[in-house]
């Protein structure tokens, strides 16, 4: 049974390289905010309301944790088997839905706007994770994972390849920016948006995090391996303001489950051990210095000595 650390520093926060020491706060420990999910995913922070939203995919719902009260409640059910979430640059919720096989935006009044559900007449697979660039464009991954069972979507045959897409923020036009990522999953822009990191969750022989140059703000080029995950499984990722990549990680073993932090050169510099495999993360809190971790049945949080980059 997991228990919050009673002493500082929390042994769950591991310094793998000296460069990570400055990001660990001596008197901060991992906290469990909520539990009881079947598969927690897609956390997103709403600073204007001081609350966190996340997806509980198999339960077909989205959940909400209130910072002021600590209360947890259902935000939306059914949710279309929602997975990844983010906010656009106007503060609206953007969500990937397995069930609807679409990317949607929640308007200020609660209405749902479908941003994309087909490309060139073919249905999307099961949009997985999403980020928004400073120009308002929406970038998302579309693997077939939600088509593999009736547990996180509905069994169906794919109509289109597992691609990474860009939706233009002004016109709504969609383009494929990467078609060669095997099982595209989590994604994140570097702080200056010159790079896009994409998790290749079906990489051979190992899963990988790949890096791409962002060309003219609209295309990707020069794809290469940023991290070879070896026996691990990277999932959702986010960058901090120093360009470090924080990755949800796991394979169902104590040695792997949690979050692994990589510097801009791709070296693992730190780790946050969790009792459950971590699917996805985001930064939030009043100063964007609190890391929220959606991990299997639970959601955890940790204050860190950095801030999340914009757009996650």
Domain holding 189: CATH number? 2.120.10.30
| 2 within some domain | no
Kindly report the pTM of this predicted structure: 0.98
Tokens coding 100: 């609807």
Percent of the chain with pLDDT strictly greater than 90: 97
Please report whether residue 309 resides in a domain.
Answer: no
Structural domain includes residue 3: no
Domain contains 266: yes
The whole domain housing 42 covers 13-303
Position 312 in a domain: no
User: Does 192 map to a domain?
Assistant: yes
Q: How confident is the model at residue 2 (pLDDT cuts 50, 70, 90)?
A: confident
Does residue 293 have a pLDDT over 80?
Answer: yes
What is the per-residue pLDDT for 283? 98
Residue 21: inside a domain, yes or no? yes
**Is 260 domain-assigned?**
yes
Q: How many domains does the chain have?
A: 1
């Amino acid at each position: 049974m997991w228990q919050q650390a009673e002493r500082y520093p929390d042994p769950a926060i591991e310094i793998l390289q000296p460069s990570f020491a400055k990001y660990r706060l001596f008197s901060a420990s991992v906290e469990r905010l909520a539990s009881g999910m079947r598969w927690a995913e897609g956390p997103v922070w709403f600073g204007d309301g001081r609350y966190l939203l996340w997806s509980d995919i198999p339960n077909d719902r989205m959940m909400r944790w209130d910072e002021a009260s600590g209360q947890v409640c259902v935000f939306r059910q059914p949710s279309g088997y929602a997975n990844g979430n983010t906010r656009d640059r106007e503060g609206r919720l953007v969500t990937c839905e397995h069930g609807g096989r679409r990317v949607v935006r929640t308007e200020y009044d609660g209405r749902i706007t479908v941003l994309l559900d087909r490309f060139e007449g073919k249905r999307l697979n099961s949009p997985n994770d999403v980020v928004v660039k400073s120009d308002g464009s929406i970038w998302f991954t579309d693997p077939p994972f939600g088509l593999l069972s009736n547990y996180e979507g509905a069994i169906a045959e794919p109509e289109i390849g597992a691609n990474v897409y860009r939706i233009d923020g002004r016109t709504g036009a969609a383009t494929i920016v990467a078609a060669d990522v095997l099982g595209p999953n989590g994604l994140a822009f570097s702080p200056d948006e010159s790079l896009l990191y994409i998790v290749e969750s079906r990489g051979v022989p190992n899963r990988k995090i790949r890096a791409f140059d962002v060309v003219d703000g609209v295309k990707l080029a020069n794809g290469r391996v940023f991290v070879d995950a070896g026996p691990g499984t990277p999932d959702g990722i986010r960058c901090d303001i120093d360009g470090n990549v924080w990755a949800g990680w796991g394979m169902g073993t104590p040695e792997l489950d949690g979050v692994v932090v990589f510097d801009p050169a791709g070296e693992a510099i730190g780790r946050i051990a969790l009792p459950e495999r971590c699917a996805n993360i985001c930064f939030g809190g009043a100063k964007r210095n609190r890391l929220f971790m959606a991990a299997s049945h639970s959601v955890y949080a940790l204050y860190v000595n950095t801030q999340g980059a914009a757009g996650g």
